[in-house]
Amino acid sequence: MRAPSFTRGLFVALGLAILLALGVGVASVLTLRSVTREQGVTLVREATTLEAVQFLLVLSERRARHARSWLLSPEPRLRHELEAARQEWETRLRELEESFSGKEEQALLARIRERQHAIQAVMDRLLAQGEWEAPQEDWKVRYEAELRPLRVGLDQELSRLVELQQESLQEAVRQQEWTRLRAITRLGMAMLGAVLTAGLCGVLLVRSLRQHRRAEARVLRSEARFRATFNQAAVGLAQVAMDGRWVLLNSRFCDILGYGERELLGRRFADLTHPEDLARDEAHARRLLAGELSSFTYEKRYLRRGGEVVWVNLSASLVHDDAGRPLYILTAIEDITRRKTLEEERVLLLAEAREALRLREEFLSVASHELRTPLTPLNLNLQVVLREARAHPEQSFARRVAQRLEVGHQQVQRMTRLIEELLDASRWGSDRLVLSLEDVDLSALVREVARRFEPVARRTGSLLEVDAPEPVVGRWDARRLAQVVASLLSNALKFGAGRPVLLRVEEAEGGLARLTVRDHGIGIAPELLPHVFERFSRGVSDRHYGGMGLGLFLTRYVARSMGGEVVAESTLGQGATFTVQLPQRPAESSRGEGISLGEASARPV
């Protein structure tokens, strides 16, 4: 973690600060000691020099006394002492010349030596004249006249030298004090800096420790939340080691497998995996560890206690540490046994429903064929009798029979269309609609179908209006297209009886042919309009209007089989409008075989 590393760094910094403070203190003490020793030596040297200068001044006074004593009483002993004093003076003067390095001191020493030479010359001259050459009073006068001025100047020079040496000594003392003060100040500042550094490191260390404790508290709280979430999760959670053994499980995981936590810890997931799913499990685990997968999810089976199979939805992902090394595999399972059971039941029910539909379609097909068989000769016989009755219009009985026969013939045709629709619905339930495409004039085809429906229109009191002034030619299936027109026209006459019905044929943009059938009848309710093209759907009650609800369904099916579409628009009480749009050149997929009933039903209206 980052916090312990930072804390260790602060500990190291604190230790270095303490060592630095100790090192600076020791170095400062040693420096102060060395400087004090050197300056002590300097002071001793300065004091010694001062003492030597003072002693030279004493020697000068002593020589003057010896000179006066000898002049007053020239004894050999005094002469000897005077010579000894002179030699010692010379020795001391040379030592002072060697010890002084300042220009002013050197100049003073030079003047002192000059005055000493002058004094010595006078002394030698006086001594050379003889011990008794003059009375003592004369010697004293001569001494006062010649030597005293030289002695006074010498004493002044020596006094000046003493003053300079005293000043030098005082300066050395001041320098020593200043150096000591400076060294102590540096030592104090260094110690203060080291103490401040150590204090800062200590403060940072305390703050770091507090932050680390807070971070540890957050980690503990996070671990507690994770543990609570892990144990109380609604799905089974488990940590799987790299060798496939469970190392941590929650209670839901144990409940799904029907074992206790102690029984599962340490066991491999392969021990309870269904044998048929084991190879897939191990393959996914290998790919996960190899880095080919980041996670995976699939359905598998476990074996509960007693051999019972439990279906689960398994999700697994590989967990890594901060360095990217794999730690464990986290798996989550959800019990889907009930769903799988329901799916199996649904499959069985679907199979049964398909079988029932197949039997129904088979029944409808057989029934349609059986119903169609007697209608064919009945229709032929009605047509023959109708022709015979029309052949004798002068007979009132023949006229009445013809009317009845015409109504019967229409009902037979209506029943035939219903049977055809029923047969088509049963046939199109599984097969694809086969189209026989040819060039067809839609305008002519609409006029022909309208002509066939004129008797029905007269009977219902409706006026048929056909607006198809120009040929509209396309490649379609003529029989199926006529079936579409007939179905729409039949509905218009049925639900708009007594009111005009309009059929319009025209060319639209994009190479489309458009057929519009409009009535002014009862219309369709808004809630029923989206369902009018569904199988067996009816927009009105079957008590007042017949039919099986297959006409519009088959109409849309045929239109879509030829690549077109049919739509309905209606306002309740104001009639309905059905519009069929067909491509004049159908796509390749519509040529020859068309589409299945399921595909046609799946397309949007």
pLDDT grade for 428, boundaries at 50, 70 and 90: low
Encode pLDDT of 503-517 as tens digits: 999 999 889 999 999
Q: Is residue 346 part of a domain?
A: no
Of 188, 195, 192, which is closest to residue 17 (Cα–Cα)? Answer: 195
pLDDT grade for 13, boundaries at 50, 70 and 90: low
Task: Please tell me which of 234-243, 373-382, 402-411 the model is most confident about, judged by mean pLDDT.
Answer: 234-243
pLDDT grade for 10, boundaries at 50, 70 and 90: low
> Residue 155: what pLDDT?
72
> Residue 594: what pLDDT?
46
Of 504, 524, 505, which is closest to residue 575 (Cα–Cα)? Answer: 524
pLDDT at 565 over 90: yes
> Residue 63: what pLDDT?
67
Burial 216-235 (b: 16+ CB within 10 A, else e): eeeeeeeeeeeeeebeeeeb
CB atoms within 10 A of CB 308: 10
More confident residue, 91 or 9: 91
pLDDT at 519 over 90: yes
Q: Are residues 50 and 103 in the same domain?
A: yes
> Residue 303: what pLDDT?
92
Angle between helix 551-561 and 478-495 (nearest 10): 150
pLDDT at 599 over 70: no
pLDDT at 591 over 50: no
pLDDT at 402 over 90: no
Q: Are residues 469 and 552 in the same domain?
A: yes
Encode pLDDT of 195-217 as tens digits: 777 777 777 778 877 887 888 88
More confident residue, 32 or 376: 376
Q: Are residues 420 and 462 in the same domain?
A: no
Distance of CA 36 to the CA centre of its chain: 68
pLDDT grade for 404, boundaries at 50, 70 and 90: confident
Q: Are residues 387 and 425 in the same domain?
A: yes
Is the Cα dihedral 358, 363, 365, 366 positive or negative?
positive
Of 564, 601, 602, which is closest to residue 584 (Cα–Cα)? Answer: 564
Q: Is residue 303 part of a domain?
A: yes
Query: What mean pLDDT value characterizes the chain?
Result: 77
Over range 110-116, report the average pLDDT. 75
Q: What is the pTM of this model?
A: 0.40
Encode pLDDT of 233-266 as tens digits: 788 889 899 888 999 898 888 888 889 888 888 8
Angle between helix 442-452 and 478-495 (nearest 10): 50
| 68, 456, 460 from 493: Cα distances, Å | 179, 8, 7
CA distance 577 to 315: 55
More confident residue, 562 or 80: 562
Q: Are residues 173 and 241 in the same domain?
A: no
574 phi and psi angles, rounded to 5 deg:
-125, 10
DSSP H helical ranges for 129-147: 136-142
> Residue 141: what pLDDT?
65
Is residue 591 classed as helix, strand or coil in its secondary structure? coil
CA distance 353 to 346: 10
Encode pLDDT of 50-70 as tens digits: 566 666 667 666 666 666 666
Give the least confident one: 307-316, 325-334, 543-552, 596-605: 596-605
Over range 327-349, report the average pLDDT. 90
pLDDT at 590 over 60: no
Angle between helix 337-390 and 396-428 (nearest 10): 160
Burial 488-519 (b: 16+ CB within 10 A, else e): bbbbbbbbbbebebbbbbbbeeeebbbbbbbb
Q: Are residues 284 and 296 in the same domain?
A: yes
CATH number at residue 8: 1.20.120.1730
Is residue 505 classed as helix, strand or coil in its secondary structure? strand
H or E segment to which residue 396 belongs: helix 396-428
pLDDT at 539 over 60: no
CA distance 474 to 508: 12
Cβ(332)–Cβ(314) under 8 Å? yes
Q: Is residue 341 part of a domain?
A: no
Rg of the chain on CA atoms, in Å: 68
CATH number at residue 391: 1.10.287
Taking CB atoms within 8 Å and a gap of at least 24, the contacts of 143-152 are 143/67, 143/68, 143/71, 146/122, 147/64, 147/67, 147/119, 147/122, 147/123, 150/115, 150/118, 150/119, 150/122, 151/60, 151/64, 151/119
Angle at alpha carbon of residue 429, lines to 423 and 434, rounded to 5°: 75
Encode pLDDT of 385-400 as tens digits: 777 777 777 777 777 7
Can you give the residue range of the structural domain that contains 518? 432-602
Q: Are residues 326 and 382 in the same domain?
A: no
> Residue 452: what pLDDT?
87
Q: Are residues 382 and 411 in the same domain?
A: yes
Give the least confident one: 116-120, 433-437, 473-477: 116-120
CA distance 146 to 168: 34
pLDDT grade for 290, boundaries at 50, 70 and 90: confident
pLDDT at 30 over 60: yes
Give the least confident one: 96-100, 215-219, 226-230, 291-295: 96-100
pLDDT at 384 over 80: no
As to burial, measured by CB atoms within 10 angstroms (0-12 exposed, 13-18 middle, 19+ buried), residue 603 is exposed
Q: Is residue 226 part of a domain?
A: no
Over range 518-538, report the average pLDDT. 84
pLDDT at 14 over 70: no
Burial 536-560 (b: 16+ CB within 10 A, else e): eeebbeeeeeebebbbbbbbbbbbb
> Residue 1: what pLDDT?
43
> Residue 223: what pLDDT?
77
pLDDT at 586 over 60: yes
pLDDT at 86 over 90: no
Give the least confident one: 38-47, 315-324, 457-466: 38-47
Angle at alpha carbon of residue 161, lines to 156 and 162, rounded to 5°: 95
Write out the two tokens for 292.
């080919």
**Which among 335, 366, 390 is the end of a domain?**
335
CA distance 335 to 253: 9
Q: Is residue 189 part of a domain?
A: yes
Is residue 576 classed as helix, strand or coil in its secondary structure? strand
Q: Are residues 376 and 361 in the same domain?
A: yes
> Residue 189: what pLDDT?
78
Share of the chain above pLDDT 70, in %: 73
Cβ(93)–Cβ(56) under 8 Å? yes
pLDDT at 430 over 60: no
Q: Are residues 377 and 465 in the same domain?
A: no
> Residue 481: what pLDDT?
93
Q: Are residues 402 and 254 in the same domain?
A: no
pLDDT at 601 over 60: no
> Residue 2: what pLDDT?
47
pLDDT grade for 143, boundaries at 50, 70 and 90: low
Q: How many domains does the chain have?
A: 4
Angle at alpha carbon of residue 119, lines to 116 and 120, rounded to 5°: 85
Residue type present at position 560: R
Q: Is residue 245 part of a domain?
A: yes
pLDDT grade for 9, boundaries at 50, 70 and 90: low
**Which among 206, 226, 261 is the end of a domain?**
206
pLDDT at 146 over 70: no
Q: Are residues 123 and 260 in the same domain?
A: no
Q: Is residue 454 part of a domain?
A: yes
pLDDT grade for 314, boundaries at 50, 70 and 90: very high
CATH number at residue 445: 3.30.565.10
pLDDT grade for 575, boundaries at 50, 70 and 90: very high
> Residue 488: what pLDDT?
93
Q: Is residue 224 part of a domain?
A: no
**Which among 155, 188, 206 is the end of a domain?**
206
Write out the two tokens for 369.
């064929």
> Residue 544: what pLDDT?
46
Instruction: Give residue for tokens 């804390």.
Output: 7
Is residue 214 classed as helix, strand or coil in its secondary structure? helix
